[in-house]
């Protein structure tokens, strides 16, 4: 009888160990597959928005958030607050949805945002490139660089991460081509996680980014990364910049797009 009970005990211990090991493997920083989460969500959102877009300009509002990594309780409240905002057409997350780029963090993001009532577009941030994050992001959301045409406005989503990608320059040729849409477009908006005045940008890259958005008559350059809010022009550019804070700020930035003007406001939650 004692041997039988001992055998059962050992079996239960082994099952517990195996189960724990499976969890450790699931959340390994080397894991890159996203399983059922691999759906390229940005492409789905863009397809839906462009199908419902107007050929001529029509005023609209969008909500801007960013840098939600580690602030999961606040992020849940932020999503609930967004669901109460009936006037917005879609939501843009300006990147850094993870801290370390591991699989579990991407799943947490997906679990929190799955109940969002609005289309969601998610940029890649520099933290999202860590570990195997770049591969998980690509499976879950789609390409790093992409565009959206909505209500006669061009939205350009640009990956400008340098250090974590171990590259010298972002793909400025792609950025210039994506912004080259002709004079009939009402507004061009560029979204990139890192502001050009960041330490990641060399002096030359800072200058080139500003030159491209000025030459292409970009209406607004939108960023995250700094965890602090900023809206206005800088001495080195004629294009206004908008930087969202992080989720811990308990604020949502709202961009009200009119034909001749842009209005920026913040709503607390």
Check residue 29 and give its pLDDT.
54
Helix (H, G, I), strand (E, B) or coil at 83: helix
DSSP 125-163: -SGGGTTTHHHHHHHHT--SSEEEEETTEEEEEE----T
Q: Which residue has the tokens 């809206």?
A: 231
Q: Tell me whether residue 174 is in a domain.
A: yes
Per the DSSP assignment, residues forming a β-bridge with 230 are 243
Q: Tell me whether residue 15 is in a domain.
A: no
Q: What are phi and psi of 239, to 5 degrees?
A: -90, 130
Q: Tell me whether residue 72 is in a domain.
A: yes
Residues with Cβ within 8 Å of residue 156, at least 6 apart in sequence: 147, 175, 178, 179, 188, 189, 190, 191
Q: Tell me whether residue 200 is in a domain.
A: yes
CATH number of the CATH domain containing 217: 3.60.21.10
Residue 18 CA to its chain's centroid (Å): 36
Find the domain containing 71 and state its range.
31-268
Q: Give the predicted TM-score (pTM) of the model.
A: 0.87
Q: Tell me whether residue 155 is in a domain.
A: yes
Q: Tell me whether residue 62 is in a domain.
A: yes
For residue 120, the number of C-alpha atoms closer than 13 Å in the C-beta half-sphere is 22
Which candidate, 243, 239, 230, places its Cα nearest to that of 212?
239
CA separation (Å) from 17 to 11, 13, 28, 38? 10, 6, 16, 29
The secondary structure element, H or E, covering residue 177 is helix 172-179
Q: Tell me whether residue 4 is in a domain.
A: no
Would you give per-residue pLDDT tens digits along the chain (269 residues)? 544 444 444 444 444 443 444 444 455 555 555 554 558 999 999 999 999 999 999 999 999 999 999 999 999 999 999 999 999 999 999 999 999 999 999 999 999 999 999 999 999 999 999 999 999 999 999 999 999 999 999 999 999 999 999 999 999 999 999 999 989 999 999 999 999 999 999 999 999 999 999 999 999 999 999 999 999 999 999 999 999 999 999 999 999 999 999 999 999 99
- Domains: count for the chain: 1
> Which DSSP symbol is given to 249?
G
CA separation (Å) from 41 to 119, 183, 231, 246? 9, 30, 29, 22
Check residue 2 and give its pLDDT.
47
Check residue 20 and give its pLDDT.
42
Check residue 38 and give its pLDDT.
55
Check residue 6 and give its pLDDT.
45
Q: Tell me whether residue 236 is in a domain.
A: yes
Check residue 226 and give its pLDDT.
98
């Amino acid at each position: 009888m004692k041997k039988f009970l001992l055998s059962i005990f050992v079996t239960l211990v082994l099952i517990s160990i195996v189960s724990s090991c499976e969890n450790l493997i699931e959340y390994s920083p080397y894991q890159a597959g996203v399983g059922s989460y691999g759906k390229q969500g940005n492409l789905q959102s863009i397809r839906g928005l462009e199908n419902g877009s107007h050929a001529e300009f029509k005023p609209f509002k969008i909500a801007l958030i960013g840098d939600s990594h580690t602030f999961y309780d606040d992020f849940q409240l932020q999503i609930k607050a967004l669901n109460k905002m009936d006037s917005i057409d879609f939501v843009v997350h300006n990147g850094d949805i993870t801290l370390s780029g591991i699989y579990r963090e991407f799943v947490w993001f997906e679990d929190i945002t799955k109940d969002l009532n609005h289309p969601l577009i998610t940029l890649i941030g520099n933290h999202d490139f860590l570990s195997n994050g770049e591969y998980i992001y690509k499976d879950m959301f789609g390409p790093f660089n992409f565009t959206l045409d909505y209500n006669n406005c061009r939205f350009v989503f640009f990956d400008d991460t340098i250090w974590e990608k171990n590259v010298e320059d972002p793909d400025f040729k792609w950025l210039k081509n994506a912004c080259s849409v002709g004079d009939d477009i009402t507004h061009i908006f560029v979204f990139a996680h890192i502001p050009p005045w960041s330490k990641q940008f060399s002096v030359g890259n800072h200058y080139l980014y500003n030159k491209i958005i000025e030459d292409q008559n970009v209406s607004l350059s939108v960023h995250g990364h700094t965890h602090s809010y900023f809206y206005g022009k800088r001495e080195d550019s004629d294009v206004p910049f908008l930087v969202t804070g992080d989720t811990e700020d308990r604020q949502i930035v709202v961009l009200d797009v009119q034909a001749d003007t842009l209005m920026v406001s913040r709503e607390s939650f």
